[in-house]
Structure 1
């Protein structure tokens, strides 16, 4: 390392990247370090609000945080890191337009996050969509409302049934919350469609395990499944998706039907950059880390979040690792930011030890489940706790106020149930006009 200001390069501007940079820029003295954050997107998405953004309870712009506005003392580069060369202490950045270039570093944080964990299921790549980005959330809102518009405009019963069938694969938090919020929105929207009864819609949740939401207790998991079934949501446990070719859904229990909507939320996997980097990784492609969030066997390289295999010191099992959750990512980022400061200042690093507080989940408007310090909460109170918790966690006072304003307005005005499907193909009208001329 050079004797001047340290250059800290943070790969990824998500939970870990943004919160780490926030803590480091706050604690590092002026002139002691230069912080560079690199991400393909110029903003951080607060993913717990994606289901509410899809349902129209929160304005999509209020779910994302502009990195340059928040990281005022950092340099933000918009581009994808395609290669890490630790021997040369540099990363290769590919911008959206133009040639790739190298950025050198003294200290490196590898936190590109995760991508959807898919399986080689026929038709999945062509028919499925994930639920990890604001773009996917907006698409799903427009798509679901668009299917209602279509069903109300055709007389073919087969086409109607296909349009009104919605399939979600994966019963973790992401899948359950996305399905519950969108079903709630669609059920409300049906009041504006004289020819569609809510009972005509079919919502299917496919889960390979024997219960949904493994993050909570068995009792709360069963309660959640029962509440979904009360809303005529078809919860299929111990079931897998076998095929989805041309929208023909085939399940492992033998049932087959047509659907225009297939949402894949069956887990995530480490970003492939980690395995490609030639840094030490485990069998799941995650960087092997020490409890202090340094990468094992290397000097000056840190990682956290979904890309990192971090020991869970709160468990008795010495081989236990922290799971890929937002709660871990945010808390690890705080420790990581502090450890960057300690490294620059020549101080000893601290370990990350997670104290489990609990879990919260929304099941639609005024419905929720929560488990806090062993206490189980259900219904409207759990829904209120869910909103309060995430409002306290969403970054910046600006975003907190805007989200709160969205919720307050929703108390006095009806839901907006307009499909803006033209957003998906903004050039189509112009292209047709140009073809005519």
Structure 2
């Protein structure tokens, strides 16, 4: 512990990132550290942790969005939580640059660093994608996508223009991994249910398209379950475009590497993730994928008093049986790494040996919509209702805090007893529009002026 040798007072542990790894590491430190043994600070642009495996159910309305997030200040009572963005890390001087939500940026010092920045969507320079694409990594995006899909049903049911209706009812998802398949399955299931309230529309009017560059989907559940998933989704009328790339989507005009172009108002991008780009503005050692290089104990390679875990860390997979293999960026590893990381930091503070991370991947579960799923765990392949139940049970067990577990369970119970809520609150994006129009001089209900029209387009 050369970096904190000779320091007066307790060392300052700085956790950069308040996602699953950051929050659970802080929780573990709070439980294991003696009073006054260290100070803990957590920095994240959001004041809450999002449990991403439940985002598809939140988007479909099976779960209340507030129940898939955990307020950091509520659970990290012995930590200092800063809502802001870290824009740079200088471990040589033991400082990070912080850009708070309001006020001037500042430098914050630390003694021990934990890098838990996670990942962001991995995009490609596809024309039009930045302007019309919708991501699916945060709860805000899940809520917006739900409102967006229901808005499109409203538009389609209210227009006499066949081209507008066809465009509104065409939904494109790019990426055949967990995020893309689960989001598509849940939202298609929700939209089919919602059609009972739209007598002007029929299931044949909707078009759902899944685009995947590889020749298979859901590789984590194995080839057999991947083929089953394609068959199951195809039976529901969903188009599966394998070995196909999105080449352009300017103004919603979708051009794929195969097939005829078409128009769509909904293009959801879920084609992989990459390490947080903030790491590029640091003096930490990175691998060729932009992740922090770590040793099996999750200490950053070659550095004192610096640790990392989760999607932004390249940690050797000791169960792979061959060198050079790193643990996959998924929730299963993140959960276990965070719990061991806090133990290792405390052990290091007390002069004890840190434990290497070693966890054999037990398999994967995925939901394809209500009562539908696939699973491949411990070599056993399961599909249908049982797999869907396994998916819910596993993620329920990993949901942080008893409070959130109970709320999720109540949401599921209420969903069994009552019909789905399919109301859209999309207009919350412009909460001041009616008041602004009322406050300006003129005739009430007049057409929107050009500035108002511009706000509607950009809201």
Say whether the fold is shared (TM-score over 0.5): yes
Conserved 8 A contact 2:92-2:283: no
Residue 132 (structure 2) pairs with residue 135 (structure 1)? no
1:433, distance to aligned residue in structure 2 (A)? 2.5
1:317 equivalent in structure 2: 322
- Residue 323 of structure 1 deviates from its aligned partner by 1.2
Deviations along 1:237-277, one digit per CA (max 9) or x if unpaired, are 00000000010000001320000000000001000111211
Q: How does 1:27-46 map to 2 (within 5 A)?
A: 27-46=32-51
Q: For structure 2, which runs of at least 5 residues remain unmatched after alignment?
A: 443-459
Q: Secondary structure at the match of 1:203?
A: strand
Structure 1 residue 143 displacement after superposition: 0.4
Task: Name whichever of 86-95 and 38-47 sits farther off.
Answer: 86-95
- List per-residue Cα deviations over 1:91-146 (Å, max 9, x = no partner): 11110010112221111001111111000000000010100000000000000000
The aligned runs of 1:207-218 (5 Å cut-off) are 207-218=212-223
Q: Do structure 1's residue 168 and structure 2's residue 168 form an aligned pair?
A: no
User: How far has the Cα of 1:84 moved from its partner?
Assistant: 1.0
> Partners in 2 of 1:432 and 1:367 — Cα distance?
47
Distance 1:388 1:279 in 2: 38
Contact 1:275 1:286 in 2 (8 A): no
Query: Is 2:102 the counterpart of 1:93?
Result: no
Partner in structure 2 of residue 231 of structure 1: 236
Asked whether the equivalents of residues 139 and 424 of structure 1 are also in contact (C-alpha less than 8 Å), the reply is no
Give matches, 1:142-157, under 5 Å. 142-157=147-162
Match of 2:13 in 1: 8
Corresponding residue of 1:338: 343
Is residue 311 of structure 2 the alignment partner of residue 299 of structure 1? no
After TM superposition, the score normalised by the length of structure 2 is 0.94
- What is the CA–CA distance in structure 2 between the aligned matches of 1:329 and 1:423, rounded to whole Å? 34
Is the Cα–Cα contact under 8 Å of residues 37 and 76 in structure 1 kept in the other structure?
yes
For 1:82 and 1:253, the matched residues in 2 are separated by: 40
Match of 1:432 among 433, 437, 447: 437
Shift of 1:431: 2.8
* Equivalent pair of 2:296/2:315 in contact (CA under 8 Å): yes
- State how 1:32-431 maps to structure 2 within 5 Å: 32-431=37-436
The runs of at least 4 consecutive aligned structure 1 residues that moved more than 3 Å come to 434-437
Compare 160-169 and 282-291 and name the one that shifted more: 282-291
Number of residues paired by the alignment? 437
**Structure 2 Cα separation of the partners of residues 423 and 215 of structure 1:** 37
Question: 1:217 is paired with a residue of what secondary structure?
Answer: helix
- Distance in 2 between residues matched to 1:262 and 1:427, nearest whole Å: 28
Output the aligned Cα RMSD: 0.9
SS in 1 for 2:221: coil
Distance in 2 (alpha carbons) for counterparts of 1:356 and 1:118: 27
* C-alpha distance after superposition, 1:303-357 (max 9, x if no partner): 1111111101110121101111111111111111111111111111110011212
Q: Runs of 5+ in structure 1 lacking a partner?
A: none
Distance in 1 separating the partners of 2:50 and 2:185: 20
1:184-222 Cα offsets, whole Å, 9 max, x none, are 000000011001001110000000000001111100111
Distance 2:90 2:141 in 1: 33
- Structure 2 residue matching 1:152: 3-state secondary structure: helix
1:404 Cα deviation from its structure 2 partner: 0.4
Partner of 2:158, secondary structure, is coil
Deviation, 1:3, is 4.5
Q: Secondary structure at the match of 1:363?
A: strand
Alpha-carbon contact 1:85-1:277 (below 8 Å) kept: yes
Instruction: Give 1:6 deviation, angstroms.
Output: 1.3
Q: Structure 1 residue 429: deviation in Å?
A: 2.0
